[in-house]
Amino acid sequence: MAFSKASFSFIVMIVLLSSTTSLAHPGLGWGGKGGPFGGGSSGLFPEFYQYSCPQANDIVMLVLRKAIAKDSRMAASLLRLHFHDCFVQGCDASLLLDDSAKIVSEKNSGPNKNSLRGFEVVDEIKAKLEEACPQTVSCADILALAARGSTVLSGGPNWELPLGRRDSKTASLSGSNNNIPAPNSTIQNLISLFKRQGLNDIDLVALSGGHTIGVARCVTFKQRLYNQNGNNQPDHTIEKNYFLDLKSVCPKSGGDNNISPLDLASPAKFDNTYFKLLLWGKGLLTSDEVLYTGKVGTTIQLVKRYAEDEGLFFEHFAKSMVKMGNISPLTGFNGEVRKNCRLVN
């Protein structure tokens, strides 16, 4: 079929007109693959808001400083949100959508329910960003910025953060139930769930180091204390005194919401003690300890190296966070920039 020259230029004009109006939405309008600053195959790049909202990161950091001063655990909670977002249909803020007529919220999945926190802090960041730069900074980028900021404010590494993610109009409860590893995962489970996201063994061990901050509920490690293998025996890889401590926090029946630090030595400091504790049988979750006891040479070696060399851990953590943050983002004209992170526009 052949368009006449006139109808062709008419179509071109429509495309140009509609793109000038909607360019207000995709930030700089070069959010697509291969932006002018590079930034890898995802189409994200660090300078995405350089002209459209140069103060974006400052606003995020301002809210984070206040929130973390009030509740030091908030840094951990926000770091975790980015992970739980990225592992379900990519880093697209699908996690933040509440239940509604069209949305079945991921917030009610097994890994998320009665567990995730920090949504009010994300709301506050979003409200301040909407004031400063209306409909410009996506909720998915807010999660990425908050994860980096929380790491830095806890004493961890900083990194150049590719930006330009857009927000999904959908959520996936089943994706959330199936893609996020369970705390009683075997090393093989962990490796395969990370691989499904394009993440390798280095990413698995480095990112598990996120458990250097924050806490877990008794229900997430109870199996280890009383019936690890279906034979009413504890997990023999837990160090004796640590085992006794954990039993006092987490009784055989009840106490499911009692909490214990993931890194008992320094639960609010982003450092490499998490890995030292694994060497001593003091990892809290099965998924933590199996990185060292799971009989996979690469993860065992990485635990040892990170325990010895905090700089190496920081370097790998930063790299792996960028990689995780690049999981299937929506860019260009895909998705939208939500006005309220809980609702599609």
Ligand X SMILES: *[C@@H]1O[C@H](CO)[C@@H](O)[C@H](O)[C@H]1NC(C)=O
Stretch of 94-102, 138-146, 203-211, 330-338 contacting ligand HEM, by CB under 6 A = 203-211
83, 159, 313, 314: which one contacts ligand HEM (CB under 6 A)? Answer: 83
* Residue 77 binding ligand HEM, by CB under 6 A: yes
3-class DSSP assignment, residue 180: coil
When the beta carbons of 184 and 237 are compared against ligand X, the nearer one is 184
Indicate the length of the chain as a whole number: 345
Helices (H) and strands (E) in the chain, counts: 14, 2
Distances (CA, A) of 278 to 19, 212, 282, 295: 53, 11, 5, 14
Residue 184's binding partner out of ligand X, ligand HEM, none, with CB under 5 to 8 Å set by partner kind: ligand X
42 is in an annotated binding site: no
Which is catalytic among the residues 82, 84, 236, 316?
84
| Closest residue by Cα to residue 191 from 174, 214, 208 | 208
* Residue 328 binding ligand HEM, by CB under 6 A: no
Residue whose structure tokens are 């996979």: 296
End-to-end CA distance of the chain: 37
**Beta carbons of 210 and 335 less than 8 angstroms apart:** no
Residue 169: alpha-carbon gap to chain centroid: 19
- Closest distance of CB 342 from ligand HEM, Å: 19
Stretch of 62-70, 124-132, 153-161, 182-190 contacting ligand HEM, by CB under 6 A = 182-190
64, 76, 303, 307: which one contacts ligand HEM (CB under 6 A)? Answer: 76
201 is in an annotated binding site: no
76 Cβ contact partners less than 8 Å away, ≥ 6 residues apart: 150, 154, 210, 213, 214, 215, 262, 268
3-state secondary structure 217-248: EHHHCHHHHHCCCCCCCCCCCCCHHHHHHHHH
Catalytic residue flag (residue 25): no
When the beta carbons of 219 and 344 are compared against ligand HEM, the nearer one is 219
When the beta carbons of 111 and 281 are compared against ligand X, the nearer one is 111
Distances (CA, A) of 189 to 94, 186, 290, 344: 24, 5, 11, 33
Instruction: Report the interface residues with ligand X, using CB under 6 A.
Output: 182, 184, 186
211 is in an annotated binding site: yes
* Residue 303 binding ligand HEM, by CB under 6 A: no
Please report, in range form, the residues annotated as the binding site: 85, 88, 90, 92, 94, 106, 181, 211-212, 263, 271
Residues noted as catalytic: 84
Residues that bind ligand HEM (CB under 6 A): 73, 76-77, 79-80, 83, 115, 117, 181-183, 185, 190, 207-208, 210-211, 213-217, 220, 262, 285, 287
Please report, in range form, the residues annotated as the binding site for Ca(2+): 85, 88, 90, 92, 94, 106, 212, 263, 271
